Structure 1
C-alpha cells in the first residue's frame, strides 16, 4: 500500500503517527543494539580517548548526513521545507540551552533519547528521569517555565525569518554536504577499526542515522499529498516527549508524528533487548543518584526546549540538514558535558580513596 492509499484509508493524522511509529521502531532497535549515546561519546572524548563510543557517534552522525543529503539530491526531500529550517532559530537558545542540556545529560547519565531507549530495557532509573524530563519540557513549552525560555531565546534570533543554512551561508555547492558526510564516515570507520568494533554494531549505528532519514523523507512525502499542513520533521525527543505526555493526559490532544515516534522508540528498544536476552529491571543505587538523575533530567528538559531540540534533534537530525543553530547547540552540548564530567565525575576519580 502506497502512502496516498494509506492516507485515504486511515486519514492524515493517523498516517503521520504511523510514520512516527515506523521511524521510532527503527531508531529504537538500532540505538539499543549499537549503544549509541552522545553522553558516553563526550565523556570518552573528555578523558582523552577516541574509543568505541566516539566511533559509534561519528558513524551515526555521518550516515545521517549521507542518507539525508543523498535523499535531497534524489529529490526525495527538501531541507528548506523542514520545520527546523523554515522558522527562525535562536542563537542564544542554542548556546544557553545546549550548555544546560550537556550538563544535564552527564548528570542523568544519558541524553533524553538514550533514557527512552534504556527505559524500554527495564532501567527504572531511566523511566523516572524520562518522566521528569518530559514534565519539565512541557513546563518549558507552555507552562511556568515558558516565559523564561521565551526571554532567553529572544536574546539573539537568526535573520530573515528562517534558520541559517550553513552550506548556503558558506557558499558551498549542495554536494558538499554529502562529501562532508562521507569524510566523517571514513574517520568513523578508522576509529572503529582501531577499536575493533564488530560489524553488527557498526550496521546498527548506521541504522540510527538511517532512521533520521526515514523521518525526514516520510514526513516530506506526507506533506506533498496532505490537505492540511504537515510539519516536516524527524527524530527528536524534547517536544515529542512533552507532546506524548500530554496526549495521554488531555482528551483534546490529536495524533501526529511525535505521538508515534516516542512509543515506537520504546517498542523497538524493548523488542531488541528482549530478543537479545538483555531486558533486566534496574533501579537507583542510592539517594545521591536519585537527586543527580532528577536534576540532570530537569536541566535537559529546559535546556532541550530552549535549544530547539535534544542531542538527537540538534546533534543528528538538525545537523543532517546543516541548520546553523543545531550545529551551535551540538557544540555547546559537547562543551557542557565535557566540563561537567571534568568537574563532577573526573573529580571523584582524581580524589584519593
Structure 2
C-alpha cells in the first residue's frame, strides 16, 4: 500500500487497525473467546474446548505469518516489541508471564477480556484498565520528577543481567534449528510443522468440531492477528526527494531517527500537527494489550491529542466498541460493580500484577500468547507457558482455600502443585478436590 504523504499513510494504519479491533471485540464477545476462561475450563472441569479455540487462533496466526513472511508480505524481524531479538530475556518472560497469569485470574480476565467486559458495562474492569495502564505507562516512561521508570527502579539491575545473547542474532526456532544462514527455510518448515500438528490436535476432538462458537472465535482471532501484521508491514511512502529522487520507504524507516528521512522530506508530512511519532509506532506489529493500555492512559491524561493516537490506542478503543456493539445488539448491556470488599481487592491485585507482569513478559495472552508465538520466538513460548502456569496454579490454590476454609496458604499451594504434577504425591497436605 503506497501513499504520497505521511498523514494518509498514518490514517490508513490507524483506520485499518481500528476496524480489525472492532471485528475482534465483536467476535470475542459473541463467542466468549477467553484465554483465562480456557485455562479455568481445563483446570477445573477438564473441558479443553476453549483451550482448543485459543490453540486454533495460534495455529491460524502461525500459519499465516509463516506463509506471509516467506512471500515477503510481512516483516516480523523488525517487529515491535522485538520478539525475535538476539537477546533472550528469559527471566523477564517467565517472571512476567507468571505474574500476569496470577493477575488475570484475580482480575477476571486478561487485557483483552478487560476491554471486552468494559464494552459490556462492567465498571470493575474500568479500574483494572486504569491500573494496568498506569503501571504499564510508568514501567516504560519516566515517573514525574525523575528520570527513572518503574522497570529501571525495581527490576533492571537484577533481572536484565540474566539475559542470554544468541550468537546467531535471533531467538526464533527457525534460526535455532537451521542457523542464521538458513533461517528463512527453517522458519518455513518449523512453522508449517508446528501449525499442522496443532490443527490435528485441535480438530481431532468431535466436541470441538461441533462447537461453532469455538471454531469461529479461534479462526477470527487468528485472522485478525495476521491482518494486523500485514497492515503494519505493508504501508509504505512513495515520494520524490531532492536528494535521492523517487523514494519508497516503510513507515518504520521514515520515522527512524538514524535515516533523517523525516527531516529531509518535510513536504511529505506537511500538515502534520504534533511531534514526530517514534520509530516503534511505525514498526510491524500485531495485537497486544498491555503496552497499548499504557499508551491509552498516556493519551487520555495528556489531553487526547490526535497526533498521539497510535496503533495501540486505536485497537484499545476498537475492541471496546466491538464488544459494545454486540452487547447492544443482543440487549445484554449490564452495569456491574464490585460485589464485596474482597471482590474489589481481588481486581486491585489483578490489575497491578498484570501491569507489571505484562510489561516484563513483553506481552499478554494475546501479545505473547498469540502474536508472539506466531513469530516462533522462544521467549514468547516461555511467556505463554508461564502465563498458563500462573493462572492454573492460582485457580487451584483458590479452589483448595474455598473447600478447606481453615487451611493455610502453603498447604493449599503444596496440594495444588501435586495436582499439577510438579511435586510428589507424598507432599500433599490436603485431600484432592
Q: Same fold (TM over 0.5)?
A: yes
In structure 2, the partner of 1:182 is 196
Q: Scaled by the length of structure 2, what TM-score is found?
A: 0.74
Gaps of 5+ in 1: none
In structure 1, the partner of 2:228 is 215
How much has 1:152 moved relative to structure 2?
4.9
* Higher relative strand content: 2
Provide runs of 4+ in structure 1 moved above 6 Å: none
1:41 paired to 2:26: no
Secondary structure at 2:308's aligned position in 1? coil
Query: CA separation in 1, counterparts of 2:23 and 2:196?
Result: 22
In structure 1, the partner of 2:163 is 157
Cα RMSD, aligned residues only:
2.3
* Higher relative helix content: 1
* Equivalent residues of 1:20, 1:259 under 8 A apart: no
* Equivalent residues of 1:90, 1:156 under 8 A apart: yes
Range with bigger deviation, 226-235 or 195-204: 195-204
User: Which of 2, 5, 16 is matched with 1:4 structurally?
Assistant: 2
Paired residues in the alignment total: 348
Query: CA separation in 1, counterparts of 2:161 and 2:119?
Result: 38
Query: CA separation in 2, counterparts of 1:20 and 1:158?
Result: 34
**Structure 1 139/177 Cα, relative in aligned 2: closer, same or farther at 3 Å?**
same
Q: Deviations over 1:177-231 (max 9, x none)?
A: 023113212322233x325753244123210111111111110102554332421
* Equivalent residues of 1:19, 1:260 under 8 A apart: no
**Structure 1 194/121 Cα, relative in aligned 2: closer, same or farther at 3 Å?**
same
* Equivalent residues of 2:84, 2:172 under 8 A apart: no
Secondary structure at 1:232's aligned position in 2? coil
**Structure 1 289/152 Cα, relative in aligned 2: closer, same or farther at 3 Å?**
farther
How much has 1:36 moved relative to structure 2?
1.7
1:68 paired to 2:65: yes
**Structure 1 296/44 Cα, relative in aligned 2: closer, same or farther at 3 Å?**
same
Query: CA separation in 2, counterparts of 1:279 and 1:178?
Result: 41
Range with bigger deviation, 145-154 or 8-17: 8-17
Q: Deviations over 1:19-39 (max 9, x none)?
A: 321231222122222212221
User: Which of 163, 173, 177 is matched with 1:166 structurally?
Assistant: 173
| Higher RCO (CA 8 Å, separation ≥ 6 residues) | 1
Query: CA separation in 2, counterparts of 1:262 and 1:39?
Result: 19
How much has 1:232 moved relative to structure 2?
1.0
* Equivalent residues of 1:109, 1:293 under 8 A apart: yes
Query: CA separation in 2, counterparts of 1:51 and 1:160?
Result: 36
User: Which of 20, 24, 31 is matched with 2:21 structurally?
Assistant: 24
Query: CA separation in 2, counterparts of 1:134 and 1:247?
Result: 11
1:85 paired to 2:139: no
